[in-house]
A and B are shown apart, each in its own frame.
Chain A
Amino acid sequence: MFPKIKFAIDFFICCWKGSAKYYAWLAFLGALSLIFFFGLYQQLTHGLIFTNMNDQVSWGLYESNFIFLVGVAAAAVTVVFPAYVYHHKQLKSIVIIGEMVAITAVNMVMLFILMHMGRVDRLWHLIPVIGIFNFPNSMLTWDVIVLNGYLGLNVVCAFYYLYKKYTGQHPNDKFYSPLVYISIVWALSIHTVTAFLINTMPPRPMWFHSMMPIKFISTAFASGPSLIIIAFLVIKRTTALKVEDEAIELLSQIVTWCLGLALFLAMSEIVTELYPSTEHSFSLKYLLFGKHGLSGLVPWIWTSFTLNIIAFLLLLNPKFRKNHKRLLIICIMVFIGVWIDKGMGLVVPGFIPTPIGEFAEYTPSLFEVMNSIGIWAFGLMMFTMLAKGGIGVLTGEIKYSCEPGQGSRRNKEPLVCHPFCSGHPGSTGKEK
């Protein structure tokens, strides 16, 4: 038991130790995330009245962020899959970062759901046994299962791996490998189920088509790896962790092809809907061109298309893809493009018009925007700290030292000696 406790303590300390810049970054994010607690307090005491949601558009910015972030969480599989199925050495050594992104994203998803709910205080009604869990009828209960399961899987996978690395042992393949493979399939399930959550509602024709799950996954596998690439590029510059170019190259190719597929699916949807142009295509018409003089979402969706198309064309060219400065900008473009596409391009127009044909526009209130920024800041802070700890283990900055009571950061040989723990992440490649 002792090494486990020591690992927890060392990991925790490592999360909190850093340069002045690191502290400044955390303080900045911490201050921003305080907004969230203010918002939560307001909602617990006054309800959702401060939001601009109404009976016409009853899901808004929170739900948009929720759907987008489920995609980001699922996208960790773009790192895990090549690392373990194709034994991609360069990715395998930094696979932890992908899992940290997933853990963070799922936590943010849950915070957004909490903010979305009208009665957060009754959350226990949803817990099986003590509450009522309308499974398998309600799609939302499926989402609860897959999201929590995914969080659990990633926490276990990531920290088990880190712990083994910390003590200098090999992960036990009989335990670890099945978990990794389950988590790969599970990652697909979270975004699929989230797509089913909204595309099983005939009154919302814009959502009601079977293309939704694959479109969700393709956009997710464009935006998620983009975020992971951004994280890798920042980590490469600011920490001792080695991020090989091959790892980033593979991820950027995944972004390219998934973005291409997403654009193709968007094109298919537009043609299918707008060619016959029935009443069921009113949402899409409103989104793309505006309707009845209402055009609040038009600039957003065209910005999204422009960003995504330009990013796709640039990614096709290796000159841009392999230049990390340019790639960083492209990844930011994809990330923003897909974020707009999921929120303003999907969730909000799904409610416009209402099932009885009323066009009511929705703009998030300042309160919603602030809360969302708060949750994003909290998420970034969480990711920063988790990644900091993870990198500490990967680089050998913290490792198990045999002498109890001694500082763990001493340059001592670990208790168990194995090439696996020699501190250089590249060395992990030798095992296969």
Chain B
Amino acid sequence: MSEEKKEIANNIPVPASLKQGEEENKNRRDFLKDMGAAALVGAAALLTNSDDIEAKSTWAEWFQKNYRLMSDEEKKEAIARLEQRYSEEYGKNVTVDNVPAMKGVLFGYALNIQKCIGCRRCVHACVKENNQSRNNPEIQWIRVIRMEKGNFSLEDTDKGYPAGSGYKSGDNTSYGVQVGGNAYKDSGVVLEGQHYYQPENVPEKDAFYFPIQCMQCEKPPCVKVCPVRATYRDPDGIVVIDYNWCIGCRMCQSACPYWARRFNWGDPNLPKEEMNPNTHYLGNRPRVRGVMEKCTFCLQRTRKGRYTSCVEVCPVGARKFGNLLDPESEVRKILDKKKVFRLKADLNTYPKFFYFID
């Protein structure tokens, strides 16, 4: 505590003859008045941010309201603050949008699992577009699950119990087979896929691929459990996070059935040259440690009429995106004509992310 007190003291011209005790008392009173209940955290912030402008903007950010409750002017101020800070930090002209949801738009996504070849170009394009932390670990919003194709074997059909359990195949005393021996190995479509596959070439013969990301549920469990409403559903159906309001309790991460949310466990690291300067307040602006993030359907692009980066990059055209309220949109046509399903439909979360096959 003493260091920052001295720092404040140095800024005020005081005759040297003044007793140090009085001076400190006076300053402390001012300090407490300014900082209010936040004295402890304030001390930490002031200690770590000796730079004056940065300290100021940190303070302003600390006191700012939830994004939805800000007046237009407050939004402008917050954005100006961020743009200035990001531009300085990343050495380029960074813009922070606050384009709101358009009326008459409800974004939806459709993914053709028949076409997906598991190349993960979408994963990397997403990271590049959305300014995720790059190292240790790289935060990825899309994960592609490799689903194995298992085999059935004839020898196992009359094996009723695992080997060594005392039951013999064909033994009359076992009173028939109770469990098919094929139940003890991966057979058919294996539901336990894995998303760490490293093949030389994709697609692999014995697998198919199942990309997942935020499903932008119409009834999002993550929004319900958030104690401070830092995450909410915008009118265009995108579930967003106010990175400046999130308290990092990770309730949403536990409640999400699709494992779509990622937490910034440490300080995010984003190399200057890889930073995407076209950002949105609720989307891909650089994050801070201790907050949650996830796919936003690239709202910095889509709210301006562009496709998401994963749709753009997909080499096989497996990814489709559009306005669910527009009967002429590609997604709506897919919903009308293709065989469509949603992931974990039994949970009643009503995702706006559909899987389909031709």
Verify that A and B bind, or say they do not.
Answer: yes
B253 at the interface (CB under 8 A from A): yes
Segment touching B, from A84-92, A97-105, A201-209: A201-209
Q: How far is the CA of A54 from the CA of B291 in the complex (A)?
A: 13
A17 at the interface (CB under 8 A from B): no
In the bound complex, do residue B265 and residue A53 qualify as a contact, i.e. CB atoms below 8 Å apart?
yes
| A126-B221 CB under 8 A given contacts A47-B265, A118-B248, A202-B347 | no
Interface centre among A49, A54, A125, A204 (most CB of B within 10 A): A125
In the bound complex, do residue B291 and residue A134 qualify as a contact, i.e. CB atoms below 8 Å apart?
no
In the bound complex, do residue B264 and residue A204 qualify as a contact, i.e. CB atoms below 8 Å apart?
no
In the bound complex, do residue A138 and residue B251 qualify as a contact, i.e. CB atoms below 8 Å apart?
yes
Range class of the B interface residue count: 35 or more
With beta carbons under 8 angstroms apart, the residue of B48, B143, B227 that contacts A126 is: B227
In the bound complex, do residue A356 and residue B258 qualify as a contact, i.e. CB atoms below 8 Å apart?
yes
**Shortest CB distance A345–B (Å):** 17
CB under 8 Å from chain A, chain B span 201-231: 212, 221, 224-230
Name the residue of chain A whose CB is nearest to the CB of B262: A55
In the bound complex, do residue B263 and residue A356 qualify as a contact, i.e. CB atoms below 8 Å apart?
no
In the bound complex, do residue A118 and residue B250 qualify as a contact, i.e. CB atoms below 8 Å apart?
yes
In the bound complex, do residue B228 and residue A118 qualify as a contact, i.e. CB atoms below 8 Å apart?
no
Q: How far is the CA of A189 from the CA of B273 in the complex (A)?
A: 53
Chain A 39-51: CB-based contact to B (< 8 A → 1; otherwise 0): 0010011111101
| A118-B291 CB under 8 A given contacts A55-B263, A202-B347, A279-B191 | yes
A83 at the interface (CB under 8 A from B): no
In the bound complex, do residue A59 and residue B250 qualify as a contact, i.e. CB atoms below 8 Å apart?
yes
Chain A 381-409: CB-based contact to B (< 8 A → 1; otherwise 0): 00000000000000000000000000000
Segment touching B, from A139-147, A164-172, A321-329, A413-421: A139-147
With beta carbons under 8 angstroms apart, the residue of A44, A49, A126 that contacts B265 is: A49
When distances are taken between beta carbons in the complex, the residues of chain B under 8 Å from A126 are 227-228, 247
In the bound complex, do residue B227 and residue A134 qualify as a contact, i.e. CB atoms below 8 Å apart?
yes
When distances are taken between beta carbons in the complex, the residues of chain B under 8 Å from A201 are 221, 225, 254-255
A117 at the interface (CB under 8 A from B): yes
CB under 8 Å from chain A, chain B span 281-324: 289-292
Name the residue of chain B whose CB is nearest to the CB of A41: B44
| A358-B254 CB under 8 A given contacts A117-B248, A118-B248 | no
In the bound complex, do residue A357 and residue B290 qualify as a contact, i.e. CB atoms below 8 Å apart?
no
In the bound complex, do residue A46 and residue B267 qualify as a contact, i.e. CB atoms below 8 Å apart?
yes
In the bound complex, do residue A59 and residue B254 qualify as a contact, i.e. CB atoms below 8 Å apart?
yes
Q: How far is the CA of A124 from the CA of B37 in the complex (A)?
A: 10
Name the residue of chain B whose CB is nearest to the CB of A207: B254
B192 at the interface (CB under 8 A from A): yes
B266 at the interface (CB under 8 A from A): yes
Range class of the A interface residue count: 35 or more
Interface centre among A58, A139, A198, A356 (most CB of B within 10 A): A356
Chain A 12-50: CB-based contact to B (< 8 A → 1; otherwise 0): 000000000000000000000000000001001111110
In the bound complex, do residue B229 and residue A121 qualify as a contact, i.e. CB atoms below 8 Å apart?
no
| A356-B259 CB under 8 A given contacts A49-B266, A133-B228, A201-B254 | yes
In the bound complex, do residue A355 and residue B194 qualify as a contact, i.e. CB atoms below 8 Å apart?
no
CB under 8 Å from chain B, chain A span 112-143: 116-126, 131-134, 137-141
| A121-B41 CB under 8 A given contacts A45-B48, A48-B266, A356-B212 | yes
A354 at the interface (CB under 8 A from B): yes
CB under 8 Å from chain B, chain A span 322-356: 351, 353-356
Q: How far is the CA of A202 from the CA of B230 in the complex (A)?
A: 22
When distances are taken between beta carbons in the complex, the residues of chain B under 8 Å from A140 are 225, 227, 249, 251
When distances are taken between beta carbons in the complex, the residues of chain A under 8 Å from B257 are 202-203, 355
In the bound complex, do residue B255 and residue A132 qualify as a contact, i.e. CB atoms below 8 Å apart?
no
| A123-B247 CB under 8 A given contacts A59-B254, A202-B257 | yes
In the bound complex, do residue B250 and residue A58 qualify as a contact, i.e. CB atoms below 8 Å apart?
yes
In the bound complex, do residue A355 and residue B226 qualify as a contact, i.e. CB atoms below 8 Å apart?
no
Q: How far is the CA of A18 from the CA of B248 in the complex (A)?
A: 42
Q: How far is the CA of A41 from the CA of B228 in the complex (A)?
A: 24
In the bound complex, do residue A125 and residue B249 qualify as a contact, i.e. CB atoms below 8 Å apart?
no
A-B contact pairs, 9 of them (CB 8 A): A49-B267, A118-B246, A121-B62, A126-B228, A134-B228, A202-B257, A203-B221, A203-B347, A356-B195
The 3 closest A-B CB pairs, nearest first, are A118-B248, A49-B266, A118-B290
